[in-house]
Amino acid sequence: MNCQNFEDLIPLYLENKLSPKEKEVFDTHLQGCPACAQALSAFKETTELLKTVKPDELPQDYLQNLEIKIALEDLPLPELQKPKFFRPQQLFPAFGALFLLLIFGYYLRNFNKPITVPLEKIQNPPEQVAQQVKTNPPVALEQFIETKKTLEFAKATAKTDFILRGAGPKYLKKRIIKQWQDTSSGIKSKKSVVIRTQAEWQELWEAHTKNISPMPPLPDVDFTKCLVVAVFMGEQKSGGYGIQITDIQESEDNIFIEFTETVPAKGSVAAQQLTQPYHIIVVNRE
């Protein structure tokens, strides 16, 4: 037994709570260690001295006063009103509102002003342009699809449409059932297609959504009653491009698509990012 263990067992030794074996080891160490004998003697004197100390009696009203003090601590303190002084910071919201009103007024003042953009000189007169369009008829697409294209002059005062194939009583217009249109597609080449089967629809949808993770599910199309018509403008070097199917007509032999392509005007500001405009629609067969 070392001295540390001896000091830990002193209280149990004085209370006679050690086992016979522990008491024998304790007594053996006590006889051979003067320091531990002195520590035991000091512990006994301290214990006897504490027994002679009498506790002080509390005043008769001590508990009553303690309960009153606790009750007062639970009461909410009254809010003190601070004196009001003028602060310059209070004017900041007013100045901010006035500044916003001035900006809004300036915006409204210039909202309806026309934007003047210098137009390039047209080298060929309108008659020659029309003649060139007529001499270049649209090429029939796959599955006897012919494409109509509406040409738009950006920033012009009037819109001019060149109809490459007229519509008559023999042409039946299709009704759009559902559609998807945006400027991000996995198909980067310019193409126009008509989908008549589920397998073709699956192949087109996978190519169109190959850059999306996870790939969106294939939309349901009943090809016994519907067709899918899709136009892709191809990959463009900036924003501002768009394509939209404006009309679909069907004759006894062919299906014709009329669509509008939008391009940014020269000198306009467009987002500098690659875009792939497209328009996919589902139309009725009859």
Q: How far is 199 from 248, CA to CA, in rounded Å? A: 23
Tell whether the model's pLDDT for residue 188 goes beyond 60: yes
Burial 90-129 (b: 16+ CB within 10 A, else e): eeeeeeeeeeeeeeeeeeeeeeeeeeeeeeeeeeeeeeee
Percent of the chain predicted with pLDDT > 70: 72
Q: Looking at the DSSP assignment, which residues form a beta bridge with residue 260?
A: 150, 244
- List the Cα angle 5/10/13 in 5-degree steps: 115
Average pLDDT estimate for 147-170: 39
Q: Is residue 16 part of a domain?
A: yes
Instruction: Kindly indicate the confidence band of residue 142, based on its pLDDT and cuts at 50, 70 and 90.
Output: very low
Residues 27 and 139 in one domain: no
Residues 142 and 260 in one domain: yes
Percent of the chain predicted with pLDDT > 90: 24
Residues 141 and 280 in one domain: yes
Query: What's the distance, CA 144 to chain centroid?
Result: 44
Per-residue confidence (pLDDT) for residue 249, from 0 to 100:
79
Q: Is residue 261 part of a domain?
A: yes
Cβ atoms of 259 and 231 within 8 Å: the answer is yes
Residue type, 175: R
Q: Most distant CA pair in the chain: distance in Å?
A: 132
User: Which tokens is 179 given?
Assistant: 């559609």
Q: Is residue 196 part of a domain?
A: yes
Residues 277 and 147 in one domain: yes
Q: How far is 118 from 267, CA to CA, in rounded Å? A: 9
pLDDT digits (tens, 9 = 90+) for 192-207: 999 999 999 999 999 9
Residues 151 and 249 in one domain: yes
> How many of the other CB atoms lie within 10 Å of CB of 148?
22
Total count of domains within the chain = 2
Q: Is residue 64 part of a domain?
A: no
Q: Is residue 243 part of a domain?
A: yes
Tell whether the model's pLDDT for residue 277 goes beyond 90: yes
Per-residue confidence (pLDDT) for residue 132, from 0 to 100:
46
Q: Is residue 92 part of a domain?
A: no
What is the domain extent for residue 197? 135-284
